[in-house]
Structure 1
Amino acid sequence: MRSEIQSLVDEIKQAISLLRRHLDWEPALKRLEFLNVKAEDPDIWNDPQEAQKLMRERQQLEERINGLRGLETRLDDNIGLIELGEEEGDGDVVTEAEDALRAMKTDIERQQIELLLSGEADENDTYLEIHSGAGGTESQDWANMLLRMYSRWAEKNKMKVEVLEIHDGEEAGIKSVTMLVKGHNAYGWLKTESGVHRLVRISPFDSQARRHTSFSSVWVYPVVDDSIEIDIPDSDVRIDTYRASGAGGQHVNTTDSAVRITHIPTNIVVQCQNERSQHKNRATAWEMLRSRLYEEELKRREDAASEQEASKTDIGWGHQIRSYVLQPYQLVKDLRTGVESTSPQDVLDGSLDEFMEAALAHRVHGGDEVVEDIA
């Protein structure tokens, strides 16, 4: 086996060993055995909330254990193929197995990053809001591009996206959108995307083909389950109903089915219009409000409230977390971590993992922000 591949095998073995240690392998196996026995006990459903909690823990533990076992099997299989290929002089088999080992290393690196997702709500589904900044059609088109980017990212990561509320722009794009992203660790991955995103390009709406800078803000907050109690007095909220707008079929504008809830003490506003039923929209809006208030509490616990407030003060210069430059050159740069990509189209097509991983590591381990204008 070539020294380069042997080094790669050693790296993978070490990484698997670290993942096993982080999982606390032997106690994890015993815990899964206990949960499997509990799952077969019909009395567990006498307390549905506790049963769901145990089932969720069982599923996650089983996935992690099976995932590690799968990595060990893949490693052994590919080592065996390399040895067999070298013995028989079959270079194609050796090359294929070596490529598979490199792909394994990438998979393991992602799993190591996921170990950073240990926050209280990281594994939850998440709401993601996008708001266009000043600049009319330009920023509204940019907000629509961000909607597409996050939808593509979710699709690549086998997550589901549901649009709860959308306001179209006058000429193109959108003024705002609220999405529900469902998937394992959805909030954990997306939480570092909160902030202002800046686009520099030759405007397709400018007859003189001038360069324009546009801003849109992204705000991410986790879905909370019933086990988290958040008391919201009726006197603290104002509820408004209105007619839904935008695409939604022939019935969408015929009744006041859309619901907007304003939390007076914090001035947080949530709204939902995706269902024809006002009752369903009201229930979803209440869930969104509980999630926003819970997210505020999480931020306070992380002593990051001041930073978060600064990130949403203005949708404009000085508050951006990432810049996307399409002209006069092509570059996407995260201003917190310094991570760059010279393929903006790939990023806008949902290739965000590199940026998210770096931002997660930066958030956990700390570090000075990279504040540098790039256009």
Structure 2
Amino acid sequence: MRAEIEAAVSDIKQSLALLRRHLDWDAALRRLDELNVRAEDPTLWNDQQLAQTLMRERTQLDQSITAVRKISSDMEDAILLIEMGDDEGDKESVEEGESQILALKELAAKKQLESLLSGEADANDCYLQVNAGAGGTEAQDWAEMLLRMYTRWADQHGYKVEWLEESSGEEAGLKSATVVIKGHNAYGWLKTEAGVHRLVRISPYDSQARRHTSFSSAWVYPVIDDSFEVEILDKDLRVDTFRASGAGGQHVNTTDSAIRIVHEPTGIVVQCQNDRSQHKNRATAMSMLKSRLYEHEMQKRESVAQAEADSKTEIGWGRQIRSYVLQPYQMVKDLRTGVETSNSNAVLNGDIDLFLEASLASRLKGGTSSEDEEGDAVL
């Protein structure tokens, strides 16, 4: 077996050992057995909230254990394929086995990183809000491109995307939009994407084909359920209704069904226009507000006052976390981790895992709490 493959096998075994240690393997197996027994108890669903909590734990534990077992089994199969190929002089089998080992090395490393998403809300669904910076149509088009990047990433990873509100640009693109991304660890993976994103390109809206620089911001916060206690006082709220517009509300744009809620003590603003019913939009907006306030409290608890201060600055120079350059060369570079790629087209089509993984790994190596968030950027 080649030295490179031997090293890859060693890396896989090390990742598997760390995954088992993180899970507390024997205790995890016993807990899964307990949850399987409880799942068969017909009285479990007498308490809906408890049942949902236990079923969520069971699913996550089962997925984690199954992943470790499959990687281990696939590694042994690939090693056997290589050994048989060597014995029989079958070069194709050897190459196939080696290719499988290298792919498993990447998968095991990713699972190891994912196992560290252990923050209080990391496993939750998340809200993703995109806002265009100054610059009119050019910035609004960039906001739409940025949101499309995230929705395509979500699609590629089996997450479900639901649109909550959208404010269309005057000529093209988006002024702002909010979606909810549903799936295990959606918040954990995307939480480091909060910040300002910078685009450099030849503008399709400039008749002289000049190069333009545009800015848009992304804001990510977790969806939380009733198990998270957040107090909201009616006297602190200002509720406005308005007529919905854009793709998220074109079926309700004949009535003032859209809802905007301002939490005056913090200045947090949420809005929803996804439903025909004003009452349903209000309920969704209140859920979003609860999540924002919970996330706000997490930041305070983790002493990220500076991030909060940074969040209230203009979307523009000095605030960006990543640059996307399409002209005069192709380059996407994360300014926090230094990770870069020349395949900008793939990135804009949702291939952003290298940035998510590097950002998460950087925060973990630096000892940063998994609940420590980037600041919100507002217009």
TM-score bin (small chain): over 0.9
Amino acid at match of 1:296: H
Q: Kindly provide the CA deviation profile for residues 298-317 of structure 1, in whole angstroms up to 9, marking residues without a partner as x.
A: 11222223224304421011
| SS in structure 1 of the partner of residue 192 of structure 2 | helix
| SS in structure 2 of the partner of residue 42 of structure 1 | coil
Q: Does 1:134 find its partner at 2:134?
A: yes
The residue number in structure 1 matching 2:297 is 297
TM-score (norm 2): 0.94
The residue number in structure 1 matching 2:124 is 124
Q: Does 1:101 find its partner at 2:101?
A: yes
Distance 1:282 1:35 in 2: 36
Distance 1:87 1:250 in 2: 66
Change (3 A) 1:29 1:250: closer
Q: Kindly provide the CA deviation profile for residues 203-262 of structure 1, in whole angstroms up to 9, marking residues without a partner as x.
A: 111111111110011110000011112121111111111111123687422111111111
Give the root-mean-square deviation of aligned CA atoms.
1.5
TM-score (norm 1): 0.95
Distance 1:237 1:248 in 2: 24
Distance 1:248 1:271 in 2: 12
* Structure possessing the higher relative contact order (Cα contacts under 8 Å, 6 or more residues apart): 2
Matches within 5 A, 1:166-315: 166-247=166-247, 251-315=251-315
The residue number in structure 1 matching 2:158 is 158
Deviates more, 1:304-313 or 1:254-263: 304-313
Change (3 A) 1:200 1:248: closer
| Cα contact 2:165–2:249 (8 A) shared by 1 | no
Offset at 1:195? 0.5
Offset at 1:133? 0.5
Matches within 5 A, 1:331-350: 331-350=331-350
Offset at 1:83? 1.4
Distance 1:312 1:120 in 2: 25
| Cα contact 2:126–2:222 (8 A) shared by 1 | yes
Distance 1:3 1:17 in 2: 21
| Cα contact 1:16–1:68 (8 A) shared by 2 | yes
The residue number in structure 2 matching 1:365 is 365
The residue number in structure 2 matching 1:372 is none
| Cα contact 2:248–2:273 (8 A) shared by 1 | no
Offset at 1:266? 0.9
Distance 1:159 1:249 in 2: 22
Deviates more, 1:35-44 or 1:276-285: 35-44
Distance 1:249 1:25 in 2: 48
5+ residue gaps, structure 1, are 369-375
| SS in structure 1 of the partner of residue 43 of structure 2 | helix
| SS in structure 2 of the partner of residue 118 of structure 1 | coil
Tell me how many residue pairs correspond in the alignment.
368
Distance 2:309 2:155 in 1: 30
| SS in structure 2 of the partner of residue 269 of structure 1 | strand
